[in-house]
Structure formats: structure tokens, C-alpha cells
A and B are shown apart, each in its own frame.
Chain A
Amino acid sequence: MIGQDEMLRIVERVLRLSGCAETEAVLTGEHLHLTRFNDNSIHQNLSRRNYVLRVRVVKEQRTGTAVTNRTDDDAIRWLLDEASKSADSKPRNPDSKSLPSPREPRQVSGFYHSTHRYTAAERADAAGEAITRAQARGLDASGAFSTGTEEIAVANSHGIRVYNASTISFFRTIMSRGEITGYADRLSRNVLDFDFGQIANEALEKALHGGDSIPIEPGEYDTIFEEYAVADLVRFLGYLAFGALAKQEGRSFMATQMGQKVMGENISIWDDAADPRGLVTPFDLEGVPKQKVSIINKGVAEGVVYDSITATKDGKQSTGHSTGYGGRWLMGPMPSHMLLGTGNVSREAMIRSTSRGILVTRFHYTHCPEPAKLVATGTTRDGTFLVENGEITRRLKNLRFTESVLRAFSCVECISSTSRVVKDWWSTFSSVLPVIKVKGFTFTGSTTF
């Protein structure tokens, strides 16, 4: 780690060397360590260290940016020069407003020394726990275990000076016997939250349950989605609909249905980066404190998330959801810490209440063929089961779904009383989600395994 003093010194140095009226400096650092294993052996093991300095300058309503991963004075002068030349070569943007001003940050801490100091040998041993359990049952274990430390410092010419350090750890494993697989993962800022044996056992149970897989005709089924699968349904809401830019450009249903009922009354979704159940984070890439935002309240569309640019356009304040300015990610502000409200039943009770349905552990390669209507598709994987008369009876060959996410969230029959932090398949978001049961979910195809 570079540490708070040095990180702030660097971003303040950018401001001192800048000759522009408005300047923003964002320094992000990453130390990532990742161990991958497959076929009961470690096949990749890596560590990477990088610090990236981004500079944004605003000159008479012209904005320019530059990025580098060096932080010495020569690099800073290059950044300022490139950003300034970029600004000069652009016409004035009359919609351009000033950089954000400081606001009181939320006090959250997401740094754990246990994670920061975790060694390659300890990661190997953790992989070994999964491998040993697999070998004992005659299965193959594959997976990935990462630990990392992140730092961020943001400073701008309006007085923003913020710094944060956080840690992150993610362990996942697939247990395989031929084409039969079972999956489990855990995500936390504190690696000591993980019981590797327990995670491995969850995947083992999925792999060993239900016998060989049988096919089922595509159609509409009452379907129970475990948290991993819910993450992929929520994902499309997050990046296609819940950001202010999508609303302002007319791409999101929020543009025409704000204040209207868009989902079932039992659905409430909000974004709260201070909720300790998630990966707590104090501010965004503009240094603006992350605010709690109610997005869907008892089925009614209530709000979207903003950065400073979209907020200015709507006459609002930034909610602290900037994804950074000037990068390739031009989708605008995004939710970052979504939570879906819990219900009052257990996963087991959901299964018991199902006369004929499907249990989905996880999705693969989900995509959205009709973004405006949020019609999504993808395939199930790593544990898809038939539920009959209140019991899991058989393992199923994987299925393809094609379904409107809005319709699915209008047909949620029940929600579990517990939730936990999970990533979607693409790791777009880390959200705190429960298990849900959806009535009449549409599967449109199947595969051979």
C-alpha cells in the first residue's frame, strides 16, 4: 500500500501543478492476488500491482482528461498537458457545469488487515481444502480465490480531499463429476469470514444431489432462484435502467414510469453503500459521498442514481454514483450496492410449497436482447433441479430462459428471510440479495448437459 499521506500528496501535487481553473485528480491503486485451480491442482497463481492516476480539467466549459500509471512529476506534467490540450481542442459544452464540491463523507470502514496480509501459501491451502474434499468423494474441484487491497484518493480544486483503503476477498469453487457440477462462492471484505470447507461442501452437495441429469420440456415453471441467480436478474436493472443517464436518454422504463407500479408490491430495491451486509464504500470516483437511494419501493419506481453531470441536468444533487469521467465506460452513473428487500420464508419452505417447479443455482452468459423492455436471456448452470411435491427430486439438464425481468419481478411469489452479498455472472455488481420464487418463469430452450 502507498497509504493515505502519500496518496493525498500525489493528488494534491496535481492540483498545485495545474494551471487550469478546475482540476480533478483521482488516484486508484490495486494489489490483487489470485489463485486458480482445476482438476484438483493449482494451474494459475498471480499477483498484480498497479496505480492509476486520472486527471480531469475544465477550461471555460471545455473538459479534457488523461490517464497514466506513473505518479512522478514528469508524469503529472504530461497528464495535465494532455488533458489541457484535449480540453482546448473541444468546442464549449454549454451543459458543462463545475466539478462537485465537498460534502460530509459517510464513515465506513472496509479494510481488514487479515485480507491485506493474506499470503500465497494461505491461498494455496484454501484451494487445498476444496481439493481435498473433492478427492475424498471422487470428484474434481476447480475454482478461484482472490484477495486484494484497493486504495483511492480524490482531490479537486473545489476542496474535495478524500481517501479510502479497502480489502476484498472472493472464493468460488465448482465440484464436478463428469458433466454434473455444483457451485458455491463467498464474497467479503474480510477473508476471515470464509469457512472454505463449508463453501466446498455446499458445492459438493449440489454436485452429488439428484442423480444424473434428465431433460425437461421448455415452458413456464414456478422457479426458485438462489442468490447467485437473482444477481443476474438484478444486473440488467442495474446497468440498463437504474442510472440517471439511461432515464434522461429515454432508454430506461424509468423515463416514462417514475412514480408508477412497475413490479410486485413485495419488491423493494435500494442502493446503500454503507449497509454492512454489502461491500461498504464511502464515496464514488468524483469523491462524492455515496447516498442511500430508494429505487423501487414496494413495486413503485421511486428514483435513479446520479453523478454530478446527470444531477446538474435534472436539477438534483449527485447521489455519489459516478463511474468515472472520460473512460470507456460511458453508460453514466450506475448503482453500486443494490439490496433487494427480504421476505418471511426460508429457501426450504419455498421448496416445500412447490408442487412442480425448478430450482436454479446460477446463470451463465446472461444478456439482454431487448434492453428497453429488459427481456433477458441466459442458461442455467452448476445445479438445476426439478422440484416435485415439495421436494427436490431430480437434477435437470440446463435450460435457457428468455424472460422480461420486469415481468419476473411482478410475479415473485415469495422471498427468503435471509440475504447475502453476491456477484452476478459477469461481476458487474456486488449486491445483497435473497432467494426468490417466481411464478411462471419462461424457459425457451435447453442443452445437452
Chain B
Amino acid sequence: MRQVLEAILDKAVEAGASYADVRHVTGFTETISVKNRAVESMSHNREEGTGIRVLVDGAWGFASTCDSSATGLSGAASLAVQIARASARWKKARGVELSPLRPVDTRWRSPAAQDPFDVPSAEKISLLTDTSNAALSVPGTRIASATMTSFAEQKLFMSTEGSCIEQHITGCGATISVLAHDQNGVQTRSFSDFESRGYEFVRDLDLKPRAETLAGEAVNLLGAETCPRQKTDLVMGGSMVALQIHESCGHPIELDRVMGQEATFAGTSFLTLDKRESFMYGSPSVTITADATIDGGLGSFGYDDEGVHAQRTVIIDKGRFVNYLTSRETAAMFGQTSNGTMRAAGWSNIPLIRMTNINLEPGDWTLDEIIRDTKQGVFVDTPKSWSLDDKRLNFHFGQEIAYEIKDGSIGKMLKNPAHTAMTPQFWNACDAVANKQEWKVWGTPGCAKGEPVQVIHVGHGASPARFRGIRVGVGE
């Protein structure tokens, strides 16, 4: 395949490209879904193809194809150049410039003790069926679903600068969803986590006891009081903090979004260029990093889709906003080098600036200490809905479950919780973050961005945290 891709790059250069890179990707996915003890779906998916990106006359063109024949690939290269020439009719005066990058010839593989594709399907079905059964054992449970997904991706990246990078990423994860309903309404409890790791990750998820606990909570939520509307102290569980990071930090720090390149669909960002190095995004308790090197993180890799090595970048340093996620093109605008976040979903898509693992660094509290230190508040966990304005300022998050906190103790269960705030005010209200023992990297397999939309894997390191004086329980 190396020779084939080299030929494509040569073709692009002959046609007039000043730079070109090419990705050949083969992807495997297995999804097994059990609902109320019955295997609802079991599917295997294998896809492969090639995408070529070119710079011609200072403008980008991209073409991808599933046709791996010499004719098909050559045609894609020619088409990419043709598209770039069309782009050049309306390019910026300076054209695209790329920050420097030393080429590498290397291989990288994600950690996996046991390849999930080596595990017999019967074993996986048995685990999922037992999980569904565990939830259904709780009286009042109506629907109990358990899904397991395994994935593997083999990628070969080459560029006209001389890079040749082969990467193998394997991972898996599971989702549980339990639904209870009665004449008064419907309540759900769920769990989801993924890592770029082998089947050992799924084994350690303790799906069966977890499902039983979730089912009990779903049933109890039916009879719980509605979370009252109030301004109060909000303590969030780790999975909820993970989504908060994703939506209100991870996306607004994408520099292409800041530059307006996602305006028509996903929106722009309130973190305008003048805010870098000066804006207090959060309190001193808030340090947020982008780290593609975390072992097993769902957003981890060896090299991004421009050939830039995975790295760790501090984004928010004790509350102060200091860095964006960048590409070679956007970093060049500031005389910097890329911090390695250009990623494409699969082979058919153009690379975009994407999150890697975006993490709220742990503090030095335990969750118990945070609760004991809270006189009046609400503890919430597991996101149910999320909505932000198109600059990522005003947000509304709904959760599946909440508990009243009174005089330092967890009290009654509350249903239909939600909270709303403005992003900087919210993160500046953070005054306690739980420690490393309560910190984990949550895998989010469904981060969407771009036109056409691309869905990519990201991770979020998070531990429980407290935010003072937040509007909760908005809307019945």
C-alpha cells in the first residue's frame, strides 16, 4: 500500500499540488445489542477507503473514494486538485500556509491486552443478556438494553513532506439503558463508557451489578419529587462533568470554530482571539488540558491526521485561558506549531480540528468531603440533554438523577433535574474538584462536527466537582 499511496502523492504533485497528504484507512466495528433479554441486533461492519488532501495555488481540495483500484485512486487525486483550483477562485489573499513539521516514518499501536475481536460472540451475548436480566430483575423495569461495541482502525498516512505513519487503534465499550414508566411518566437511567483498550476494559465495567442499580434508580425516580427551581450549590458527578467539559470547553477552544469555519452549522466561539492569555475562563480550581497521550484514552492516538505527534497542551491554567486546539494552518497564523488535533473520522472525511482527551485536572478533595462541605445544594449525575447557544455561552443541561444535599448530607432523590448558566460564570463558580482517586477518563464515541457531519471518538478526564450559586431545576 505504501507504493500505491506514494504514486497518488506523485500524481497530485504532477497535477500542481504544492503539498499533499493521503490516508488509507480500514475500519472494523462489531455492535451487539440486547433488549429485554433478546438479542435485538448483531452487526459486523468493515470499511476501507482512501482520502487525499491537496494544496494548490494556496487553497485546499479533498477527495475520497472507496475504489482502491489504480484508476480510482488516480481519479481521486486528480479530482482533489480540480477542487483545490476551484477553491482558489475565492481564496484569501495570502493563501493557506502551514506551520513547519519534521516528517516521521513510524508506527503506533493503542494498548490492548485482549483484542475484543478475539472474544467469542457467545461470551459477549451472554454478558449483555445477563446485564439486561439484572435490570429486569427489579420490579417496575420496562425496558433494559445493553449494547457492546468493539472497533479497530488501521491507518496509513503519507505526505509529500516525507511522513509515513502507520497506526492501529483498537477499543471497545458498553452502554446500558433502563426505562421505567407508570401513569405519571417515564424515567431512564443509563451508563456509557469506552476506551481505546482491549476487552479487559469491558470486563472491568461490572455491567451486571451496575444495571441492577440503574434499574432501581429508574423505578425510584418515578415517585421522586421534581427538582425544584432554585439558585443553589451544584455538585456534579464525574460523567456529568465530562459532558460539561466537552460542550462548554472542548468545542469553544477549537481554533477553526473561533475563526468562523463552522459558523453555519455548529456555530462559532466566545473565546475570541483577544481572550488568549488574558481571559479568566474559570476559577483557580479549574485547569483544563488537551492530552492525546493518555494511555487508553478514547481520544488518544500516536499522530494526528497531519502527521503531528500526540501531545499534552494546557488549555486553561488555573482559570486563565492560554491555548486553543490548533492545526498546521491555524497555528501558522500565530507563528506557532500545531498542537496535533487535526483528525478525520474514517477515510472519507476531511480532517478538522477535533478534541482529543479534554480533561479537568483533578483537585484535592474527595466527593465525600465536597458533600460534607455543602450546606445546601443538589448533586446531579448522568447527562440526559444538552443545549448551548452558537457561541457556547448560554447552556442548558438536563440530568437523569439528582439528590438533595442538606447540611452536608445526601438527602432525597429528585427527578428531572437541569441546570443553566453562562459558561465563564459557571466555571468561575467552581470551588472544589475531587482528587485523582475519583478521576477517570470518560470515553465519548459520538462527538459530531463539520459539514458533512463527522462523528469521532474523544475522551474527558473528570472527577466530581462543585459549582456555587447555579440555577437548577429549570423547566417542568
Please report A residues at the B interface, Cβ cutoff 8 Å: 32-52, 63-70, 78, 82-83, 85-87, 89-91, 93, 95, 119-121, 123-125, 127-128, 131, 140, 142-144, 146, 172-174, 176, 181, 183, 249-251, 325-328, 330, 364-373, 375, 377-379, 381, 398, 400, 402, 425, 427, 444-449
Contacts and interface: CB of A to CB of B under 8 A. Distances in A.
Contact of B185 (A33, A65, A249, A373): A373
Contacts of B59: 42, 45
Contacts of A377: 385, 387, 396, 475
Contacts of B89: 42, 121, 124-125, 128
A368 B451 contact: no
Which 10 A-B residue pairs are closest in the complex by CB-CB distance? A369-B398, A120-B86, A402-B475, A372-B186, A447-B394, A379-B389, A46-B62, A326-B43, A67-B45, A369-B385
B452 A86 contact: no
16 contacts: A47-B83, A48-B63, A50-B47, A50-B64, A64-B43, A65-B41, A83-B44, A121-B89, A123-B86, A142-B264, A176-B263, A327-B41, A330-B40, A365-B387, A370-B476, A372-B185
Contact of B264 (A86, A87, A95, A144): A144
B263 to A, nearest CB: 4
B394 A144 contact: no
B60 A379 contact: no
A69 to B, nearest CB: 5
A249 B143 contact: yes
A82 B451 CA distance: 33
B22 to A, nearest CB: 14
B437 interface: no
Contact of A38 (B67, B259, B387, B391): B259
A414 B179 CA distance: 37
Say what secondary structure dominates the interface of chain A. Answer: strand
B82 interface: yes
Given A39-B259, A250-B181, A447 B389 contact: yes
A47 B475 contact: no
B476 A375 contact: yes
With a 10 A CB-CB cut-off, give which of A131, A143, A369, A379 has the most chain B CB atoms.
Answer: A369
B349 A36 contact: no
A373 to B, nearest CB: 7
A44 B261 contact: yes
Contacts of A181: 263
B49 A65 contact: no
Interface of B: 31, 33, 38-49, 51, 59-67, 76, 79-80, 82-87, 89-92, 120-122, 125, 142-143, 179, 181, 185-186, 259-261, 263-265, 267, 348-350, 384-391, 393-394, 396, 398, 416, 418, 420, 422, 451-453, 474-476
B387 A44 contact: no
B84 A45 contact: yes
A174 B263 contact: yes
Contacts of B185: 372-373
Given A251-B179, A367-B387, 11 more contacts: A41-B90, A46-B61, A48-B64, A49-B67, A50-B65, A67-B44, A67-B46, A89-B42, A250-B142, A364-B390, A377-B396
A35 to B, nearest CB: 7
A7 B263 CA distance: 38
A228 to B, nearest CB: 12
A53 B312 CA distance: 40
B66 A50 contact: yes
Contacts of A52: 47
Nearest to A142: B263
A67 B43 contact: yes
B61 A45 contact: yes
Contacts of B420: 400, 444-445
A87 B42 CA distance: 8
B259 to A, nearest CB: 7
Given A36-B451, A447-B422, A174 B60 contact: no
B217 to A, nearest CB: 17
Contact of A369 (B92, B120, B422, B475): B475
A181 B264 CA distance: 10
Contacts of A373: 185
A447 B391 contact: yes
Contacts of B396: 367, 369, 377, 400, 402, 445
Nearest to A382: B390
A72 to B, nearest CB: 11
A147 to B, nearest CB: 12
With a 10 A CB-CB cut-off, give which of A46, A146, A402, A444 has the most chain B CB atoms.
Answer: A46
A402 B31 CA distance: 35
B391 A49 contact: no
A379 B82 CA distance: 39
A172 B264 contact: yes
Given A66-B45, A95-B38, A50 B348 contact: yes
With a 10 A CB-CB cut-off, give which of A40, A172, A367 has the most chain B CB atoms.
Answer: A367
A375 B422 contact: no
A95 B36 CA distance: 12
Contacts of B386: 365, 367
A59 B409 CA distance: 56
Nearest to A327: B43
A365 B125 contact: no
A83 B475 CA distance: 46
A91 B202 CA distance: 22
B125 A89 contact: yes
B297 to A, nearest CB: 22
Given A377-B385, A377-B475, A379-B387, A86 B62 contact: no
Contacts of A183: 264
Contacts of B83: 33, 45-47, 120
Nearest to B53: A46
A47 B186 contact: no
B256 to A, nearest CB: 8
Contacts of B42: 63-65, 86-87, 89-90, 326
B90 A326 contact: no
Given A89-B122, A377-B385, A39 B260 contact: yes
Contacts of A44: 60, 62, 261, 350
A90 B125 CA distance: 8
Contact of B87 (A85, A91, A124, A366): A124
Nearest to B445: A328
Contacts of B76: 49
A140 B394 contact: no
With a 10 A CB-CB cut-off, give which of B121, B185, B349 has the most chain A CB atoms.
Answer: B121
Given A377-B475, A400-B394, A38 B263 contact: yes
With a 10 A CB-CB cut-off, give which of B45, B65, B90 has the most chain A CB atoms.
Answer: B90
Contacts of A328: 31
Contacts of B43: 64-67, 86, 326-327
Contacts of B46: 66-70, 78
B452 A45 contact: no
Contact of B186 (A34, A250, A330, A364): A250
A203 to B, nearest CB: 10
A350 B49 CA distance: 52
Contacts of B452: 32, 34, 48, 146
Contacts of A446: 394
B261 A36 contact: yes
A366 B387 contact: yes
With a 10 A CB-CB cut-off, give which of B41, B82, B122, B420 has the most chain A CB atoms.
Answer: B41
A182 to B, nearest CB: 12
A325 B41 CA distance: 8
A115 B297 CA distance: 43
Contact of A49 (B39, B64, B261, B394): B64
Contacts of B384: 369
A116 B422 CA distance: 45
A444 B264 contact: no
